[in-house]
Amino acid sequence: MRLGMIIDYSGGFAETVELLQEYERNGLELVAIPEAYSFDAVSQLGYIAARTEKLELMSAIFQIYTRTPSLTAMTAAGLDFVSGGRFTLGLGASGPQVIEGFHGVKYDAPLGRTREVIEICRQVWQRQPVEYRGRHYTVPLTKDDGGSGLGKPLKIINHPVRNEIPISVAALGPKNVALVAELANGWQPLFFHPHKAQRAWGESLEEGFAKRDPALGELDIQLQIAFHLGEPSPEAVQAIRNQLALYIGGMGARDKNFYNQLARRYGYESEAAEIQDLYLDGRKAEAAAAVPDDLVDAVSLLGDEDAVRQHVVDLHAAGVRTLLLNPLAATDEEKVAQVRRLSEIVAETSS
């Protein structure tokens, strides 16, 4: 299991980057940058690439609607070039609030679009003239497709550092997870419960693995997780509760909330309904209080060394191979020290 870190786009970026070499000396192997309706992730990834030599880089995530498939491929190839082959392309559909509310793009067919983006990216990186006829993307456009008729298949001018850049996909729904298991190198599930993951996604993973190209290797589950070694502050635990309440209760309409549906598949049917009712009624504090304690514990990495060690074992048994940490310690020095100790615990559990 490797240790990574997700750098929050809402603040603290510069301070964290200043410490990256120290984190790397203490066991950190990967840095992931999210992209919501924030600063773009590409600028920050390029900056980190210039400031580091060995740390792997990943987008977590590029939204599939906000770039054309070919631009997504070009961007990934560019980041892989400036980092010397250290980049993983993290993709995801995001949700209608961001895609329609911020970008003004129709949020449709996330499953089909994800498949087609992946297939077109891999054509680009292989330096094939891009010719693609999908349900959602057609390259190049012809007169029959409403184009000018002047387009012709083109291949990327540059030679990518790698012709197979790893692709990781954020997915929660059963059909999306089946697609990930079939096509992707990595999977970024949010709020991953190691003891209930099989219940939520077991059939989907089996369906996808049955179609998977063996050359893709093992699916790397890359898990964003809040981390604190020792007793965390009440404020830190409350922040986790608040995030769960936001996603389960308010991230989407009542019948179109992927996170609420996931909580229900985990077995929290009544709790998910209550959290959503409270949150949508504006009673956010009560919604956070309604989040089950065992769900908070399962989707975070908190506690003394014995508790953290057992949780690492459980996560590994459930297929997690990369931890994208959100350290909750109060100071940078404590965060670095805790990452170092976690690195030692992970090594101990795998020996």
3-state secondary structure at position 125: helix
The string of DSSP letters for 244-262 reads: HHIIIIISS-TT--HHHHH
**Is residue 245 located within the same domain as residue 214?**
no
**Is residue 267 located within the same domain as residue 173?**
no
Instruction: Give the tens place of pLDDT for each residue, 49-66.
Output: 999 999 999 999 999 999
pLDDT value, residue 151: 87
The per-type count for the chain, helices as H runs and strands as E runs, is 15, 12
102: CB partners within 8 A, 6+ apart: 37
**Is residue 310 located within the same domain as residue 344?**
yes
- Alpha carbon distance 246, 249 (integer Å): 5
CA 298 to chain centre: 18
CATH number for the domain harbouring residue 181: 3.20.20.30
pLDDT value, residue 283: 97
* For residues 182-192, average pLDDT: 97
Residue 16: pLDDT over 90: no
**Is residue 21 located within the same domain as residue 156?**
yes
- Are the C-beta atoms of 217 and 185 separated by less than 8 Å? yes
Find where tokens 């993973």 sit: 205
Q: Which of the four pLDDT bands, split at 50, 70 and 90, describes residue 312?
A: very high
**Is residue 184 located within the same domain as residue 245?**
no
- Find the range with the poorest average confidence among 71-80, 140-149, 152-161: 140-149
**Is residue 38 located within the same domain as residue 140?**
yes
59 beta partners? 33
Average pLDDT along the chain: 94
When divided into structural domains, the chain yields a total of: 2
Residue 95: pLDDT over 90: no
Residue 179: give the domain boundaries: 2-226+304-350
Residue 351: pLDDT over 90: no
**Is residue 46 located within the same domain as residue 135?**
yes
Q: Which of the four pLDDT bands, split at 50, 70 and 90, describes residue 315?
A: very high
